[in-house]
Amino acid sequence: RRYLVMALTLCLFWNTFGLSAAMDSKPNILLFLADDLGIGDIGCYGNSTIRTPNIDRLAREGVKLTQHIAAAPLCTPSRAAFLTGRYPIRSGMASSNGYRALQWNAGSGGLPANETTFARLLQQQGYTTALIGKWHQGVNCESFNDHCHHPLNHGFDYFYGMPFTLLNNCQENKPPELDVALQAKLWLYSQIITLAVLTLTAGKLTGLISIHWKIIACFTLVGSLFFVSWYSSYGFVQYWNCILMRNHDITEQPMRLETTASLMLKESVSFIKRNRHGPFLLFVSFLHVHTPLFTTGKFLGKSRHGLYGDNVEEMDWMVGKILDSLDKEGLKNHTLTYFASDHGGQLEAQDGSAQLGGWNGIYKGGKGMGGWEGGIRVPGVFRWPGVLPAGTVIDEPTSLMDIYPTVVHLAGGILPQDRVIDGRNLVPLLQGRAQKSEHEFLFHYCGSYLHAVRWHQKDSGTIWKAHYVTPVFHPPGAGACYGKGICPCFGEGVTHHNPPLLFDLSRDPSEAKPLSADTEPLFDAVLRKIARAIEEHRRTLTPVPEQLSLYNIMWKPWLQPCCGTFPFCWCDKEGDSTQIF
């Protein structure tokens, strides 16, 4: 009996003091973020046909979130929210036009320099920080080398990867993916401005119009910009956008997709080895599983879901190799590991009958849809052996924005006091010390337009969701916007609801049965509560420059990153240095 008492005492001591000691030390932080991965694409979330043993292992050894929500249904704004812990509308990364993501490396928009990322705060706490993979938060502001939006200007000590995002344009023999509507607008504006310049010039020469030549010259310059942007969009996208960088230096222009995965993996493993004495932050931002789904030969044809499944399985293999490197360096128990996707899978990504986008499980909608669950509910897995209880499932609402305060807390940092931080520290919830999420309301934007609001009624546990705007599916009833490529946020392509569509996600997670005053006694009270929350939320918003304005997303030759002498941009500094794992 005495030995039993001693054993129980030791267990109590460990639970009280051992856990505290583990928390007091600064863990390494390893963040995996997939691109366009659907919540239904991996085994631990119910997929039985795509093999993801390494991501599934993370879930078995850690905590799985079932209601993990992206702050936006597209990559640029979602990743801005992830990095800053703030809704994209607060940083100007939410668009009021039809272009909700950056279109060019040579645009002037991007994550503003006055936004403080979690990488910056961890850097201040002595962490060595790195981003490997996709950025898509802009590069330059005023010149081709000011790097105002670059990762190194946002708290990362090291960057290797794509400043932009993968596109079909990055691979030969694929249909172009750059927005066709944008190309048409650029051509239209070019024609209108050219006509205006010719009219003004003729009027000036004949004396019919009194105007300074400087004004005509300005019109000519603007028209030239539109024309060059239109012309470049047809043949130069691969050279302008599909590049690899190491810190500020371009290493491949255009990038060679057949070696990219190996390069990313090599860089990730090398960073962990170099910084094994820590603490470090490694953000592995996968190019997988965005189209064109370039997959190395080792994985082609190996899955049961065509090219998309092959690409998911290759990404999972990369996750496993990086986790193996943690084990090899003895860092597994001293590293918080996280896996998620930036938003839901793209239903409209198809090649004939082949589906090239992800599966969002039981949830309606997908990428680009600001309100429907399929566009914003994503995988969310945490692992930290000895600190987070293994095999735990949490159904409470959480957000990708929560990563910001969570990792800052673990690093011993202090959140900025001069701005609103929308994320919440997840540590108490992940450890089981808290049973409820700190989020009462989550606001679901499509660009800068509020489409839906989620209310977590904590006393009852009910999750209410009100849709004020929903996309018009094309064709009708199809569940996506197949005729448009991606669903719009405003205009004729959406339906406004008054009263809003109301769902109880606790009972109807697929959002199949909207409630009414006749079927739900609390209908009016719930909508009044949500309306008051919207008013309070909007009072916290302040006007900021829109980073995704038409001017900011326009291609500008003086901002183009170029390896060589512009416009002859080409280089391959990687050569045959790639190690195939």
Known catalytic residues are 75, 136
Report in angstroms the alpha-carbon separations of 312 from 82, 119, 260, 349, 569: 22, 27, 15, 15, 32
Distance spanning both ends of the chain, measured CA to CA: 54
Between CA 186 and CA 459 the distance in angstroms is 53
Residues 439, 424 contacting (CB under 8 angstroms): yes
Beta strands in 295-367 (DSSP E): 335-341, 350-351, 354-355
- Label residue 97 exposed, middle or buried (CB < 10 Å: 0-12, 13-18, 19+): middle
Is the CB of residue 71 less than 8 Å from the CB of residue 401?
yes
Reduced to 3 states (helix: H, G, I; strand: E, B; else coil), residue 93 is coil
Report yes or no: 306 and 313 within 8 Å, Cβ to Cβ.
no
**Token pair 């030759």 in the structure block, residue:** 557
Rounded Cα distance between 542 and 164, Å, is: 28
Greatest Cα pair distance in the chain: 110
Nearest 5°: CA angle at 340, between 337 and 342? 140
- Helix count and strand count (H, E) for the chain: 16, 20
